[in-house]
Chains A and B, each alone.
Chain A
Amino acid sequence: MRTAAGRAAGLLDRSWPVLLLLAAWEVWIVAAHVPPIVAPAPALVVIEVATNPGLYAAAACATIGVALAGLLIGMTLGIALAIAIWATPFAAGALTFPALLAQSTPLVALLPVIARLLGYGEQTVIAAATAITFLPTFVLVGSGLRALPANAADVFDVLGSSRLARLVRLALPAAVPSMLIALRLSAANSILAALTAEYLIGTFGLGRLFADAQTQSLTPRAWAAALVATVLSVAAYAAARRLAVIGERFSL
């Protein structure tokens, strides 16, 4: 009984902001007399999702699918390129500017270019999620591969280990925490990038649902799509965080 109470208190410690934000939303609607066409009350949005569960589930699955594909491709590319330039400081220096340029360029500006290249379909949405994932992975894993435990490199020197052994047995394990940080940063962002791309390119998924609802002035539907996307991205962040906690048990 006590543990149940303790668990409930723990849950409240973690989730009070959800209640606070919902209350603030409701108060804003009532106090400022916001008409439903501008912004619906929380209850209206919940009813909207509850009456069309299939619509939102299908859209959410589509968005999760492309975001996950982008996350996987982006992390794989980022880790592969970080390994490729591992132990070559020249390549690392030479890639500083292109990496910074790519990170600083608004993705929304390049979407039309990507869309021309890959077509107005899911490939472009996956590319957007890939782009948002690739850079943090590349930068963080790149520095993680070099952040070795003290004296570890000396041990490998003394034992005369090959470069491959050094990579597989020393640098890659040392970079696992960086990979987990990259995952934590990218998990939520890949959902949001997929959503933005779906919205701008108009393919399918939650972004398309949001765009359609907006043009038809179906405000509760637009808010419901945004709410589902928010829940997905918070869940993705929490899942990545959970994985990082598990991963820390294996860190050096």
Chain B
Amino acid sequence: MKRSAAGPIIVGVLVTALGWELIGRLHAFGSAWAPLSTVIAYAFTPANGALLLSAALRTGSEALAGLLMGSLAGFALASCAVLVPRLAPGLGTFASIINGIPIIAVAGVCALTVPRGGTPIVVATLAAGFIVFVASAAGLASTLAVQRDLFAVLGASRAATFRRLLVPCALPAILDGVRTAAPSSVVGAIIGEWFSAETGLGPLLVAAMQNYAIAQLWAVALTGALLSIAAYTLLGGLRAAIGSRFG
């Protein structure tokens, strides 16, 4: 099963790379589209490679911190909604308001109020939190009536039902949420850096845009994308391992 699934994915990678290269070479989308070979040549120049790597590590650690805090906050909010049903409609409103505040406004306010270097983590936390909240709420609501009845008949307390039934049942959905939130936390960290930081992928993007350094622009965007894909794939492995236990 796994072997047959890998074939189409490899074809997809090759076609994407070829398409990227051809569009750039033929100037199909204008001169702002750098061919893949140019981007790779840029990234593999030792000085540029070291710059991209250190920026990626910086952005990656901010995104990871944001993903962790956002996941905890999202799960905690969804748990409150389950444990105190009266709060549920309001917490949904709260989450949609937090999600609805434009990032450009959040980043601007954070740059003035949060200690230096904190903005990317705050923005990444907000970006990840809403997704994990929605996924956790759906997961915690996914138990069967039969299961809940059994716990009720056995006289389980609300806390015990939550810990021994709801959370184990919700775990795959929560991990799906964390996995989906990973790319968002990377994008959030980059946008946060855009407004405040001096190092990381965000400032490199701004510099590339201002200097019209097309190869650098694409190399930084690709580095950010690869960072997201790495996180998404790693979390997919974790999800599969836990899914086989709880799924």
Contacts and interface: CB of A to CB of B under 8 A. Distances in A.
A89 B93 contact: no
Interface string B125-159: 00000000000000000000000000000000000
A11 B153 CA distance: 34
A108 B91 CA distance: 30
B228 A16 contact: no
Classify the secondary structure of B's interface with A.
helix
B190 A192 contact: no
B47 interface: no
Interface in A185-208: 188, 191-192, 195-196, 199, 207
A108 B109 CA distance: 19
A188 B7 contact: no
Nearest to A238: B96
Interface string A216-241: 00000011001001111110011000
A112 B209 contact: yes
Interface string A69-97: 00000000000000000000111111111
A238 B92 CA distance: 10
A89 B8 contact: yes
B224 A237 contact: no
B232 interface: yes
Contacts, number: 158
A90 B11 CA distance: 9
Given A89-B8, A93-B5, A94-B15, A104 B232 contact: yes
Interface residues of B, number: 53
Interface residues on A, range: 35 or more
Interface string A89-126: 11111111110110111111110110011000000000
A104 B31 contact: no
B8 A90 contact: yes
Given A93-B7, A104-B232, A112-B32, A196 B224 contact: no
Contacts of B5: 93
A97 B9 contact: yes
Nearest to B226: A104
Contacts of B31: 116
Q: Is the interface of A mostly helix, strand, loop or mixed?
A: helix
A104 B12 contact: no
Nearest to B188: A106
Interface stretch (B49-57, B97-105, B162-170): B97-105
Contacts of A17: 90-91, 93-94, 97
B233 to A, nearest CB: 9
Contacts of A10: 89
A163 interface: no
Given A89-B8, A106-B191, A214-B108, A230 B225 contact: no
A18 interface: yes
Given A93-B9, A98-B12, A108-B194, A113 B220 contact: no
Given A13-B90, A234-B97, 15 more contacts: A13-B86, A17-B91, A17-B94, A91-B8, A94-B12, A104-B226, A106-B190, A108-B190, A108-B194, A108-B205, A117-B30, A192-B102, A222-B105, A226-B104, A233-B102
Please give me the 7 A-B residue pairs with the lowest Cβ-Cβ distance, nearest first. A93-B8, A104-B228, A226-B105, A233-B100, A17-B94, A94-B12, A109-B221
11 contacts: A14-B93, A93-B7, A94-B8, A96-B8, A96-B9, A106-B190, A112-B32, A188-B99, A188-B100, A226-B102, A238-B96
Interface of B: 5, 7-9, 11-13, 15-16, 29-33, 86, 89-94, 96-97, 99-105, 108-109, 112-113, 183, 186-187, 190-191, 194, 205, 209, 217, 220-222, 224-229, 232
